[in-house]
Structure 1
Amino acid sequence: MSDRIPTREEQEGDGEVRYRMLYESEDKVYIRHIRGVYTRIRKYTGLPLLLAFFFIPWLNIDGHQAVHFDLPARQFHIFWTTFGPQDGFLLAWLLIIAAFALFAITTWLGRVWCGFTCPQTVWTLMFIWAERVCEGDRSKRMKLDAAPWSVEKVVRKGGTHAIWLIISLATALAFVGYFYGIRDLVLDLATFSAHPQGAFWVAFFTFATYMNAGFLREQVCKYMCPYARFQSVMYDKDTLAVYYDARRGEARGPRKKNVDYKSQGMGDCIDCYWCVQVCPVDIDIRDGMQYECINCGLCVDACNSVMDKMEYPRGLIRFTSEDELETGKTQFARPRLFGYAAVLLLMFGLFTQQVLTRSPVQVEVQRDRGARMYRLSQGLVQNVYTVKINNMDQKPHQFSIAIEGNPDYDYSLRMQRGIQLSPGEIYSVPIRVSVPKAQLKDYKHDIEIVIRAKDAPELEDRHKTVFIGPK
């Protein structure tokens, strides 16, 4: 089997099909700095996410970290709510909702997640910003890399890698801080008393961020990200994405301003390659839709700036649809998109209802299943239960236990008094439920064990179980 694959056939020259090695290393991508509408939009989408990621761990709510995934205690504090392992179904719901939201947005706007808010894109652009600050714009970086090593090159390259390491370390501290506790993590690292596992994960994520955003970059989007492989399933002819208007742009070629190029059969594309030079995944959008394209819009900003200089209309490269390029119209209201939106709204509504109605106290009951399923004492039939109470609230509470069942029966309860539970505490208590034997009409009947906080009666949970007596 050949280890070469053909690239696209050249439109000029001898027309020979070009080949390249399957495993040849990619050339370094030097991205040109550009200003424009989509560059500004990225600041309003990426910056809030960055600020939230880095500063939320430092917020305190009711004496604890605002978002803290305390794995040893199996408690997950998210703002004013504490979740436990028994709430794993909510995480499954959330992931399914996120998947449907991704499908709906992709059907509507293409890969805007990748281009504007994906961490891979945001962190890569931060690292590119560090390169530009220390080494200059695209042409200067290319000259610096081609130049022999000198003091200036060492200083500039050293500055770039120093900023990369600072960003990587801050990223690792913030991420591990969600699990370790950010204040404890920083203090323990500063005093060399951090747990070995915590120190290991900080070092690991520092190295991973440094390599990923510093060196892998577009390789992740091209070869590692699964989203790029199945996005085409969600696209249709009315999906908005970045397209090159070939009817208007072809044939390409350089020209001077104020020259009647149309009479020479030329289009608006001056073949300046700015759209290629600003592309973070190093593709030529003029070759048509490609799975590597992340819809970041940088090529749109670059082309519009060139069109302005040439005094041509904007939009040679633009966010549009395949239908618009062919027919001049885009159908925004279409059944597929409405279907995704309806399912998404329904799932989000059910998820919100589950979260809002979720009780911060949970009870589990286990009836004694030994040889003696019931006891007879002084005319009473007794059943023994083990009640496990989980205080998932972020405040301490004192809980009471009550029995509800057949209203014709006189239930009595024997148990330890004063169940005081701290936030996140789980406590097991045995109880003995008694019913006069003369009142029992059935061999067994259903009862409910009700747990209620004395200082907050709205905090309660119920568990159905069975009371068994003699036949």
Structure 2
Amino acid sequence: MSTSTKPPATEKPGLLYESSAKIQSRRAQGRYARLRVLAMLLLLGFYYLAPWIQIGDTPLVWLDLPHRRFHVFTLTLAPQDLIFLTWLLLIAALTLFFFTTLGGRLWCGYACPQTVWTEAFIWMEHLAEGDRYARIKLDRAPWGAEKILRRGAKHLLWAGFALFTGLSFVAYFVPARELFPEFFALQLSGWPLFWTLFYGFATWGNAGVMREQVCKYMCPYARFQSAMFDKDTLVISYDQKRGEPRKSVAKLGGLPAGDCVDCSLCVQVCPTGIDIRKGLQYECIACAACVDACNSVMDSVHKPRGLIRYTSAHEEAGQKFRLLRPRVIGYGLIWAALCVGFVVAILLRTPVQFDVIRDRHSLYRELDDGAIENLYTLKVSNETSAAHRFKLSVSSPDGRRFLAVPDSLLVGRGEAQALTVSVRSQASDDEHEEEGLHGIHSLKFSLVAEDDPKLQRERSASFIAGEAHD
């Protein structure tokens, strides 16, 4: 008697890594799609136009690294104004916290550079290769003349736009009216050329090739956003009670169908490829493309809009939505205080930096006429948009007279100068006053622009006139 044995069933080994399928998203039409396009045009328009706009002969935004001057709108900042940059970063962080608590990932959906540039690259891809179904068909088709032509046209558009993006980025450091002519004359070299190609390649790779992979695997914001969410934060959600069971499931089970017709358009328009009907997921960037797609379907089947909509956990549970709550009020007050403080600090800021450093190599020197001389190094930085001649004066709280040589200096626009100044005690006929000059005295240096008295700064220093007499 023979027995046969079946080979043991083998399980398919699991993969430690599996590349994700390429996402070919469909273009959505609707209110939120128009808002995204408007945001893209405004943000990209400012990015590309700002280096070309000039106030006088200075670009609107110019980070002049060789001269260590940062021109932002009508302000000229120096490295010692780093406090303002820190202040702006704090305002940006609180802005992100505040609006995330209110409206979820609004930054990701409408203003993030990755989202904005990806939107532009998808538009160019649609122009070269057609709509979603045409692109899927092109992916499956063998390589031929049409595929090479369409793919080549797409990458040519991407490369040109990415190169223009890299040049525009470098134009914030090198004036655009100098950079672009040099580039098209093939005279651009060194660091400007390197950074142009580097940021152009980064734009092409991030917005054209990686796309949603940047949001899903590289961006940390998706991971810590839940720390800023609460039960009243607006998120995009699918109404399970109203939509289920879906039409296809209801047909199989003989059940009354919900409003969801299971068309999968919400998945097709999603730039990260998720199914919002499975609940809120960290890959969701809150672009609301699924909301537009679902609303258009609800209109076609004569159902109310809002099957997929902006809502909150409390609203979904039938509770009242609260706009003002402790976290929002706290973020809002701190954010408002930082914004007001920044504006006040900018308005009260004097665009002249002035510092006095005493020469420690020579304590003092007695001159032939009996006067005593001290040497100082004055550092003056003119952060205005025009050259100024400054008048220098020295005074003492005890009424003694001092003379500064030289007593004026010319500082050009955006320039910084270091000047050695001799401060001398003026000779007096009063012997008792001469004797009292010995010791250490306090001085006040005053610097005033001759053509604009509002530009003035003061600094204190010590004047050494020998050892004090008992």
Give the Cα–Cα distance (whole angstroms) in 2 for the partners of residues 422 and 152 of structure 1.
61
- SS at the partner of 1:179? coil
Question: Where in structure 2 are the equivalents of 1:11-30 lying within 5 Å?
Answer: 21-30=15-24
Find the structure with the greater CA-based Rg: 2
Partner of 1:389: 380
TM-score w.r.t. structure 2 length? 0.91
User: Of 457, 463, 466, which residue of structure 1 is paired with 2:462?
Assistant: 466
Cα distance in 1 for partners of 2:303, 2:153 equals 41
Give the Å deviation of 1:370: 2.6
The one-letter amino acid paired with 1:231 is Q
Query: Could you tell me which residue of structure 2 aligns to residue 247 of structure 1?
Result: 241
Matched positions, count: 450
For 1:236, the equivalent position in structure 2 comes to 230
Within the candidate set 437, 452, 456, 1:456 is matched to: 452
User: Partner residue of 2:358?
Assistant: 367
Post-superposition Cα deviations, 1:156-181, rounded to whole Å, max 9, x if no partner, equal 11111111112101111110111122
Q: Match for residue 411 of structure 1? A: 401
Shift >6 Å, 4+ stretches: none
Alignment-mate amino acid for residue 132 of structure 1: H
| Unpaired segments ≥5 residues, structure 1 | 1-17
1-structure distance, mates of 2:385, 2:421: 26
- Give the CA deviation at 1:113: 0.7
Query: Which of the numbers 145, 160, 168 marks the counterpart of 1:166?
Result: 160
Structure 1 segment 319-468 matched on structure 2, within 5 A: 319-370=310-361, 372-373=363-364, 375=366, 378-406=369-397, 408-435=398-425, 437-438=433-434, 440=436, 443-468=439-464
1:287 partnered with 2:278 = yes
Task: Report the TM-score when normalising by structure 1.
Answer: 0.91
For 1:35-184, list aligned pairs within 5 A: 35-184=29-178
* AA matched with 2:383: M
After the TM superposition, which of the residue ranges 195-204 and 115-124 deviates more from structure 2? 195-204
Contact 1:365 1:387 in 2 (8 A): yes
Equivalent residue for 1:273, pick from 264, 273, 288: 264
How far the C-alpha of 1:268 sits from its partner, in A, is 1.4
State the 1:379 CA deviation: 4.6
Matching residue within 302, 308, 315 for 2:299: 308
Paired amino acid for 1:462: E
User: How much has 1:442 moved relative to structure 2?
Assistant: 8.4
Are the structure 2 counterparts of residues 105 and 404 from structure 1 closer, same or farther at C-alpha, using a change threshold of 3 Å?
farther
Choose from 202, 206, 211 the match for 2:200: 206
Q: CA deviation at 1:375?
A: 4.3
Deviates more, 1:242-251 or 1:107-116: 242-251
- The residue matched to 1:339 in structure 2 has which SS? helix
Task: Tell me the C-alpha RMSD between the 2 structures.
Answer: 2.2
Aligned pair in 2 of structure 1 residues 396, 327: CA closer, same or farther (>3 Å)? same
Once residues 357 and 98 of structure 1 are traced to their aligned partners in structure 2, the CA distance between those partners, rounded to angstroms, is 22
Aligned residue identity for 2:423: V
Structure 1 distance, partners of 2:315, 2:254, is 26
* Contact 1:254 1:272 survives alignment (8 Å): no
Letter in 1 for 2:142: P
1:191 corresponding residue in structure 2? 185
Measured against aligned partners, the alpha-carbon deviations of 1:410-466 in whole angstroms (never above 9, x if no partner) come to: 322231254112112222222232346538478434322111111111111222222
Give the superposition deviation at 1:376. 6.7
Please state how far the C-alpha of 1:93 moved relative to its aligned partner. Answer: 0.8
Using the aligned pairs only, state the percent identity.
44
Contact 2:70/2:77 (CA < 8 Å) preserved in 1?
yes
Distance 1:441 1:350 in 2: 45
SS at match of 2:197: helix
Amino acid at match of 1:311: H
Kindly state the Cα deviation for residue 20 of structure 1 after the two structures are TM-superposed: 6.2
Q: 1:378 to 1:237 in 2, by over 3 A?
A: same
SS of residue in 2 equivalent to 1:354: helix
Other structure's SS at 1:178 match = coil
CA–CA separation in structure 2 for the residues paired with 1:439 and 1:84: 44
How far residue 265 of structure 1 moved from its aligned partner, in angstroms, is: 3.9
Secondary structure of the residue that 1:271 maps to in structure 2?
A: coil
Query: Aligned partners of 1:147, 1:352: CA distance in 2, in Å?
Result: 58
Kept in 2: contact 1:375–1:383 (CA 8 A): no
Aligned mates of 1:22, 1:315 — CA distance in 2: 39
Residue deviations 1:243-277 (CA, integer Å, cap 9, x gap): 11112112223399xx9x99924321121111111
- Counterpart CA distance in 2 for 1:171 and 1:443 is 63
Higher mean displacement: 45-54 or 431-440: 431-440
Task: Give me the whole-angstrom Cα distance separating, in 2, the residues matched to 1:447 and 1:306.
Answer: 79
C-alpha contact 1:383 1:432 (8 A) present in aligned 2: yes
Does the Cα contact within 8 Å between 2:382 and 2:415 map onto a contact in 1? yes
What amino acid does structure 2 have at the position aligned with 1:317?
Answer: I
